[in-house]
Structure 1
Amino acid sequence: MGIPFSTAGRIGALPISPQTPLDHRAGAILRQIVELYVETGVPVGSRTLSRRLPVALSPATIRNAMADLEEAGLLYAPHTSAGRLPTDRGLRLFVDGLLEFGDLAEEERDAITARCAAAGRSMQDTLSEAGTMLSGLAGAAGLVIAPKGEAPVRHIEFVGLSPGRALVVLVTADGQVENRVIDVPPGLPPAALVQAGNFLNARLGGRTLDEAKSDIATEIETHRSQLDALTEQVIAAGLATWAGGGSAGSLILRGQSRLLRNLEGLAQVQQIEALFERLENEETMLRLLELAQRGTGVQIFIGAENGLFDSAGLSLVVSPFRAAPGVERPRVLGAIGVIGPTRINYGRIIPVVDYTARVIGRMLG
């Protein structure tokens, strides 16, 4: 399930089930347990709660309320300790109805904008930096599904670097500059690089690389062009660097090691490693994009709700970034967010993910 970023947190009568409403007192207790769990990661007892609650309640009254919450499936006892922890269902109820979060301070907005909009970087580097930034702020893994490059090409150039290596510089019609290093035949003369660039520039004509790739390959294969074998290899290597690929774009993951810290047992490590492998699959990226587009803002998936995390004890906080934000039904270009433990600081991370997605959307739109 997901919630729009604009949903405000509150404490009040929320349904546990149609027969059992969550009253003000039970809501306050659940909220304190979740907030302490996010802060410390340890079970919360009645005596600790009695010192934190805004109203005076005896430990016995608190214990009775905790027992009711446990019976409703919102809390559980991890061992024989008197303390309790929230279940995934309890965390969901907290996020949907009890969480209070505010907007970012102006200096925080400025810092995020500056890191995303640094001059001289390619869009891929910018998205990578955004993922690294979210990873650091959340203490979790930053995730970006980058849009597939579909802008028409304005210019392409090959520049020799060293024996067997060349730089491909591609400038798109929207002004983005991408640089990739490719392998080239040893002893390649500089004239072959010039010829390869001239050949492609003459045939792209405002088309995307994917649109032109088939025609160019056919022309080379049927020997209609006057290219030597070395130049053909350069052209093929340059096209392979960008053209093709899946429709979901590319996945950028940053800070994966943060998910592997403080894990209990080999099973959790294996579950998270399996998650990383699934994330590299195009079908999984399409599924993530689908999840991100379900609502109008940040989407939150706790535990096994999204079908990606199984029982690894992880949550996903993700938002789509869109072209021309603010217009009705803008096109979704990609998604950005974090993957962290279920005790991630939702109140802090939700506005950061939301604002970062809007900054990226404005840059790409």
Structure 2
Amino acid sequence: MITELNSRSRQIFRQIVDAYVTTGEPVGSRTIARKLDEQLSPATIRNVMADLEDAGLLYAPHTSAGRLPTAAGLRLYVDGLLEIGNVNDDDKRSIRAQCVGTGKSLEAVLGDATEALSGLTRHAGLVAAPAGDRPFRHIEFVALGPGRALVVTVSDHGMVENRIIDVPLGMPQTSLIEAGNYMTARLAGRSFAEARSLVQQEIEARRAEIDEATQRVVEAGLATWVKPGGDASDGFLIVRGQSKLLDDVQNLVELERVRHLFETLETRKNLLRLVEAAQSGNGVQIFIGAENELFGLSGCSMVIAPYRAPSPDQAQSSVVGAIGVIGPTRMNYARIIPMVDYTARVVSRMLGHNGDGSRE
């Protein structure tokens, strides 16, 4: 489609979209005439705008109003006319400073990355992380109080996870220590599904030799991540900066649409769909309005990129989640696209992978 537009049409169309991204308001021919390098009359510009409307790239929200880009027009702009900028050094430092830290849990890293994106873009940041079943290399149990214990695990890629579990009342600290030592010594390097299976086999074979309390805490610790018959798509969704998205809502109908969007996103079954959307292509993926059914009714766009972690053999990496931004369709794509890409690469590096190899 972009090749079918002549230079004049492309210039006018770009001015309309640029003005829309900045103000969100319809753009008229007189406004465009003042911005163009080429001296064109408002009547000539109106004729071009009519042609662009016939092509499905613009529409008039009201009679005698200016024009706004359609979803198809925005897609054409993003794919063919957008000049994507670079992330400036200050923003890079801000993203790294907020994300990087020793001893952080995976959820803390992703939460900080989402917070950084939300703050810098002034839109809602989002991260989807379907629960994985990665091998662990260390695990320990720490008593918190009657019937409660903290499970600390270190995954094969060095990320620390902290979870609270229920344990039998009166369980001594020695049993918790024995459980952690047993799992670290005997089961390190295995996923929790594999560890659970091996524990169950050993319990059956040596039931009389295994302390009952240790057995129960091991089972409880494993059940924190792996449940028999559990849904493999279970995971977590972090959305930060919803208020920034709501700032762009202009009426109650739009407010209800955005509220429904968040309800839809928070259902577990949609976590994998977000990750699959990020995984379907290379690099950053942009979904404008109804191009993604999750956003079809909300009037929002989404810019997401996959983040990766090493596979157990360390030879390859795999997509383990998606991070990005939700905002109005008039978001500043030129600034946000590289920022999402950079943040995803920072998270990937923290998970032990150097992203896509592109430069800082």
TM-score for the superposition, normalised by structure 2: 0.85
Secondary structure of residue in 1 paired with 2:8: helix
Q: Distance in 2 between matches of 1:329 and 1:61?
A: 56
Tell me what 1:288 maps to: 274
CA deviations 1:234-264 (Å, max 9, x no partner) are 3333222223552575433222333333434
Q: Distance in 2 between matches of 1:266 and 1:219?
A: 60
Q: Note the C-alpha offset of 1:305.
A: 0.8
Q: Distance in 2 between matches of 1:300 and 1:322?
A: 18
Q: How does 1:1-365 map to 2 (within 5 A)?
A: 14-15=2-3, 21-146=4-129, 148-217=131-200, 219-220=202-203, 224=207, 226=209, 230-244=213-227, 246-247=232-233, 249-323=235-309, 330-364=317-351, 365=353
Tell me what 1:10 maps to: none
Structure 1 pair 330/171, CA: closer, same or farther in 2 (3 Å)? closer
Secondary structure of residue in 2 paired with 1:175: coil
Query: 2:138 touches 2:188 (CA, 8 Å); kept in 1?
Result: no
Secondary structure of residue in 1 paired with 2:142: strand
Structure 1 pair 294/248, CA: closer, same or farther in 2 (3 Å)? farther
Q: Distance in 1 between matches of 2:78 and 2:315?
A: 27
Structure 1 pair 134/206, CA: closer, same or farther in 2 (3 Å)? same
Paired residue type of 1:305: E
The Cα RMSD (Å) is: 2.9
Query: 1:75 touches 1:85 (CA, 8 Å); kept in 2?
Result: yes
Structure 1 pair 256/65, CA: closer, same or farther in 2 (3 Å)? same
Q: Note the C-alpha offset of 1:171.
A: 1.9
Secondary structure of residue in 2 paired with 1:206: coil
Q: Distance in 2 between matches of 1:123 and 1:236?
A: 23
Tell me what 1:7 maps to: none
Q: Distance in 1 between matches of 2:205 and 2:245?
A: 52
Structure 1 residues without counterparts, runs of 5 or longer: 1-12, 16-20
TM-score for the superposition, normalised by structure 1: 0.84
Query: 2:56 touches 2:70 (CA, 8 Å); kept in 1?
Result: yes
Paired residue type of 1:361: S
Q: Note the C-alpha offset of 1:118.
A: 2.2
Query: 2:99 touches 2:112 (CA, 8 Å); kept in 1?
Result: yes
Structure 1 pair 223/279, CA: closer, same or farther in 2 (3 Å)? farther
Runs of 4+ residues deviating >6 angstroms: none
Query: 1:140 touches 1:259 (CA, 8 Å); kept in 2?
Result: yes
Secondary structure of residue in 1 paired with 2:249: coil
Q: Note the C-alpha offset of 1:302.
A: 0.7
Tell me what 1:5 maps to: none
CA deviations 1:144-165 (Å, max 9, x no partner) are 2336444422221111223343
Q: Note the C-alpha offset of 1:99.
A: 0.9
Q: Note the C-alpha offset of 1:343.
A: 0.8
Paired residue type of 2:151: V
Q: Distance in 1 between matches of 2:241 and 2:11?
A: 34
Query: 1:297 touches 1:319 (CA, 8 Å); kept in 2?
Result: yes
Secondary structure of residue in 2 paired with 1:331: strand
Structure 1 pair 215/328, CA: closer, same or farther in 2 (3 Å)? closer
Paired residue type of 1:307: E
Query: 2:86 touches 2:335 (CA, 8 Å); kept in 1?
Result: no
Structure 1 pair 191/56, CA: closer, same or farther in 2 (3 Å)? same
More off after superposition, 146-155 vs 93-102: 146-155
CA deviations 1:192-240 (Å, max 9, x no partner) are 3223323433441421112111332455578715556655443333222
Query: 2:139 touches 2:154 (CA, 8 Å); kept in 1?
Result: yes
Query: 1:272 touches 1:312 (CA, 8 Å); kept in 2?
Result: yes
Structure 1 pair 304/209, CA: closer, same or farther in 2 (3 Å)? same
Paired residue type of 2:138: H
Number of residue pairs matched by the alignment: 347
Paired residue type of 2:39: A
Identical amino acids, percent of aligned pairs: 57
